[in-house]
Chain A
């Protein structure tokens, strides 16, 4: 299976308003695929369709077909689908009542990724190392996440998503609210991960898309304007709209 996500004429309406309009998109396996576009273009909605978090939004209607791992997502139990898909959100949202350790361990434990305490400890360490957070928190794993900085919290959320050992990782503007040092660490982590999983990231920054993407899709006003290898989209975009976005004009 070359494409891990295959979207066919996807339209989404929320309270009757069209948010996405007949999107056709294929996301290649083991790549970093960036969905970029200005605010309100439907990027986050598209991401939430892939793991069916869109189901949580009242009055959301989805049309078209979405295949993830070769399965039609509406023929699969959403909980089983989400167990295989990690997600990191725009605002760092570690669970405030759990310790740093438990934040990372919870998903792995409840989803049956770890069978015993030793395995769980190993997964937690692996995920925190991947998120470049281990050295900063290894001596205070029992502390609450409120003791961490904003960037550290976001890397904790990345570790939490990685600990469920996903085949697909979704990131919704993960560096929008954090400083450049933490942004660099997250981007390095993502680059190191693409051999192990497929990464789909939403961003409004063409610079970030240029730094890490293998493929880029440009979304504007709910429509997919174009998508392709990042070099082609960034250097020789086919659409005037993409050009304007890259120049910061829209």
Chain B
């Protein structure tokens, strides 16, 4: 009986310990979100809906203005990043899973994964050297390529894991029906692994959309004019936050907080929508 009591006490102790440690781990996240909601919320309420489409104010203005060009820039950069990065990550992952013994697959897999280890600022420098210098100016496309390189290993790793974790019985069933590799991939494997594939895309996108370092060398921070072309400078919200936070002007600090709130809402909106749309597959 005594032994049983001790086991119950130990079980409870362990359970509460896990809960307390989890709460401690989550505290910084709560703090960040609360700060953004409080400071950013007050800026957005003050500026109203025009915060989403107006350009930023001048440093001594009393009007908060908005983050229109930067918001549009972030949306465009994310879209182009996905257009460039997703096919690369997806087909590299397919190569690794479907042809695991191929030397090319192994080489490409190792190379892609190694991108995770490279500081993202170096990716910015790389794109600066191979694109910005030859073109003679910063551009949206240079930023998107840098972000695609940043997101590539994250998307690749998650998509590869999602495809590789499909139970063998479904592979046999698909090929047993006479399906070719592309048909089996698009009709069966992608469907079974859809949740993991979407998670990979989201993680890659989240990583890319929050990055500042690669953009410092690539996009030029053009935040007073709207999109002018893929080969022209553009702005993005993280770069605006980074640069405005370092200025001595209170109005810029307010805009930076508001921009942080908008970035957070974009994350949550995209994540929640995709999570709801892509249903879990019950095996």
A and B associate in one complex: yes
- Which of A's residues lie within 8 Å of B, judged by CB? 51, 53, 56, 58, 79-87, 89, 91, 93-98, 106-107, 110-111, 144, 146, 157, 160-161, 164
Asked if residues B172 and A93 are in contact (CB atoms below 8 Å), the reply is yes
Q: Which 4 A-B pairs have the closest CB atoms?
A: A83-B178, A97-B191, A82-B178, A87-B176
Q: In the complex, what's the smallest C-beta–C-beta distance from A98 to chain B, in angstroms?
A: 7
Give bound CA distance, A144 to B281, whole Å: 9
Known contacts being A58-B101, A80-B178, A110-B183, is A95 close to B173, with CB within 8 Å? yes
Is B283 a contact partner of A82 (Cβ separation < 8 A)? no
The answer to whether A95 touches B188, judged by C-beta atoms less than 8 angstroms apart, is: yes
| B62 beta carbon closer than 8 Å to chain A | no
Given the interface pairs A97-B192, A97-B194, A97-B281, the reply to whether A107 lies near B169 with Cβ below 8 Å is no
Give Cα A80–Cα B183 distance, bound, in whole angstroms: 14
Is the Cβ of B171 less than 8 Å from the Cβ of A106?
A: no
CA distance A139 to B128 in the complex (A): 61
Complex contact A89–B172 (CB within 8 A)? yes
Flag if B192 contacts A79 (CB, 8 Å): no
Contact in complex: A110, B282 (CB < 8 Å): no
The digit string for B168-188, where 1 denotes a CB below 8 A from any CB of A, is 011111111111100100011
Find chain B residues with CB under 8 A from A93 CB: 167, 169-170, 172-173
Query: Which of B172, B187, B188 lies in contact with A56, CB distance below 8 A?
Result: B172
| A91 CA to B183 CA, complexed, in Å | 23
How far, in angstroms, from A164 to B173 measured CA to CA in the complex?
Answer: 13
Which residue of the partner chain B has the closest CB to A97? B191
Select which of A95, A111, A160 is within 8 A of B191 by beta carbon: A95
20 A-B pairs (CB sep. < 8 Å): A51-B176, A53-B172, A53-B176, A56-B171, A58-B101, A79-B178, A82-B175, A82-B177, A85-B178, A86-B176, A87-B172, A87-B176, A94-B173, A96-B283, A97-B191, A97-B194, A106-B177, A146-B282, A157-B173, A161-B177
Does B170 contact A95, Cβ atoms closer than 8 Å? Answer: yes
> B176 contacts A96, CB within 8 Å?
no
Residues of B within 8 A of A111 (CB): 177-179
What residues of A have a CB within 8 angstroms of the CB of B180 in the complex? 79
Q: How far is the CA of A111 from the CA of B184 in the complex (A)?
A: 12
Beta-carbon contact of B179 and A79 below 8 Å = yes
A146 to B281, CA, bound (A): 9
Q: With A87-B173, A97-B188 given, name 7 new contacts (CB 8 A).
A: A58-B101, A79-B179, A93-B170, A95-B170, A95-B192, A96-B170, A146-B282
Minimal beta-carbon separation of A202 from chain B (angstroms): 14
Q: Are B169 and A91 in contact (CB under 8 A)?
A: yes
Bound-state CA distance A15–B187 (Å) is 31
Given A79-B180, A106-B187, A146-B282, do A96 and B175 touch, yes or no (CB 8 Å)?
Answer: no
The answer on a CB contact under 8 Å between B187 and A110 is yes
In the complex, the chain A residue whose C-beta lies closest to that of B173 is A93
Chain A residues whose CB sits within 8 angstroms of the CB of B282 once the complex forms: 96, 144, 146
A7 CB to closest chain B CB, in angstroms? 19
Cα–Cα distance between A91 and B176 once the two chains are bound (Å)? 14
A89 and B178 within 8 A (CB) = no
Chain A residues, CB < 8 A from B100: 58
For B170, what are the chain A residues with a Cβ–Cβ distance below 8 Å? Answer: 93, 95-96
Quote the shortest CB–CB distance from A173 to chain B (angstroms).
13
**Distance of A87 Cα from B174 Cα, bound (Å):** 10
CA gap between A81 and B191 in the complex, in Å: 25
B172: A residues at CB distance < 8 A = 53, 56, 87, 89, 93
**List of A residues within 8 angstroms of B283 by Cβ:** 96, 146
- The interface bits of chain B over 235-255 (1 if a CB of A lies within 8 angstroms of the residue's CB, else 0) are 000000000000000000000
Distance between Cα atoms of A238 and B100 in the complex (Å): 46
Contacting pair A53 B175 (CB below 8 A): yes
Smallest Cβ distance from B199 to chain A, in angstroms? Answer: 15
CA distance A80 to B176 in the complex (A): 11
> For B169, what are the chain A residues with a Cβ–Cβ distance below 8 Å?
89, 91, 93
CA distance A84 to B171 in the complex (A): 18
Nearest-CB distance from A100 to chain B (Å)? Answer: 14
CB within 8 Å of A: which of B161-220? 167, 169-180, 183, 187-188, 191-192, 194
* B192 and A110 form a contact (CB under 8 A): no
Q: How far is the CB of B35 from chain A (nearest CB, A)?
A: 41
- Give bound CA distance, A97 to B279, whole Å: 9
> Is A82 in contact with B173, judged by CB distance below 8 angstroms?
no
Give chain A residues whose Cβ lies under 8 Å from the Cβ of B167. 93
Question: Which single residue of chain A is at the shortest CB-CB distance from B188?
Answer: A95
| Contact A107:B194 (CB < 8 A) given known A89-B172, A91-B169, A93-B170 | no
What is the bound-complex CA distance between A94 and B173, given in angstroms?
8
